[in-house]
Amino acid sequence: MSLPIHQTLPGLCLYRKISLLLRSLGALAMLLAVGIPTAASSKSLVVSWLPDTVAAGSPCLFRVDAAGSIGSLRGDWMGHQITFFSSSGHHAWYGLAGVDVEAKPGSYKLSLEATLANGAVVHKQQIIVVHIGHYKTEKLTVPEKFVQPDAETLRRIEDEKKIKDAAFSHEIAEPEWSGKFIPPIDTAVSEGFGTRRTFNGKLASVHRGLDYHAKPGSPIRAANSGEVVLARELFYEGNCIIIDHGQQFYTLYMHLSHLEVSEGDNVEKGQEIGLSGATGRATGPHLHTAVRWQGAYLDPAQLWLLPLPQLPSTGQSQANSR
């Protein structure tokens, strides 16, 4: 004897619901079994940085730790793209960056995009406060040709700008440096970074490097490993060396009396690269050294203090860029 239709429908609907639920659970199990990406939270990424207080001119080491393994990581910071790398394993990732000496103080957003080992993509934003940099002002007197160059010298300066631009466009995908950067000479600092300078009362500039007392002929060493992308005499810089340490991070050495490396040479940390002098626009014998990252000039003295990670000598660091 058949039941009335109003008694059969509820049972049928319940049966269908249970069937759909079982199918959904089965499909989820299959997705997890083959490793299809699942949603991941930005809380799985923890961001830290050094120095603790960031100011205009500060080099910065960003560190990102993940609960799981990261396959790749990229970031944006103050209009710059940051290339992150892993020194060992894939749980801790590092990005060496910085804040230009003339950057305005304020709150800036570090935007991260991580692709986890299972394919899931995680986005995270971290607000970092940039403080004002406190730098002094001084007046200097130099030969007038360095303040008001003649037409022929202006053409030379323009040609040399193209040469320097070409050197700074050199690209090495992975970091060539490993561990802390070291001072290029063991003498006292004669002029700090960031000083506002007036030359002969006419030309104002910002001291974008660090000056060291250096007797003529003092040995100058590479602050870290890298490739020499410029080694020649320039009008303002005198005998100048630029080393690319990878990922658009450079150190510069100016006013040398003698160059001991050539463009294209690979150098090791601490290797002698030249001798100090007073060539170019210099008021006397000294070494001017500078640090540049993606066009931003950073305080070398702060870079020497950063506890940077040791990288594999085999060049197997995992670098990622846009």
Tell me the pLDDT tens digit for each residue of 226-248: 999 999 999 999 999 999 999 99
Residue 264 near residue 274, CB atoms below 8 Å: no
Token pair of 296, please? 């931003």
Give residue 287's pLDDT band: very low, low, confident or very high (50, 70, 90). very high
How far is C-alpha 145 from the geometric centre of its chain's CA atoms?
35
Distance CA 171, CA 194 (A): 27
pTM recorded for the entire structure:
0.80
Residues 51 and 196 in one domain: no
Token pair of 215, please? 């007797």
Q: Give the whole-number percent of the chain exceeding pLDDT 90.
A: 60
Q: Is residue 317 assigned to a domain?
A: no
**∠ CA 53-317-231 to the nearest 5 degrees?**
80
Instruction: Round the average pLDDT of the chain to a whole number and report it.
Output: 83
**pLDDT for residue 315:** 41
Residues 225 and 249 in one domain: yes
Q: Is the pLDDT of residue 286 over 60?
A: yes
**What pLDDT digit, counting tens, does each position of 147-166 carry?**
677 899 899 999 999 999 99
Residues 129 and 253 in one domain: no
Residues 100 and 151 in one domain: no
Domain coverage including residue 274: 137-305
Residues 6 and 100 in one domain: no
Distance CA 69, CA 113 (A): 14
Residues 63 and 25 in one domain: no
Q: How many domains is the chain built from?
A: 3
Distance CA 155, CA 149 (A): 10
Q: Is residue 318 assigned to a domain?
A: no
Q: How far is CA 280 from CA 112, 145, 164, 260, 298, in A?
A: 42, 11, 15, 18, 22
Q: Is residue 212 assigned to a domain?
A: yes
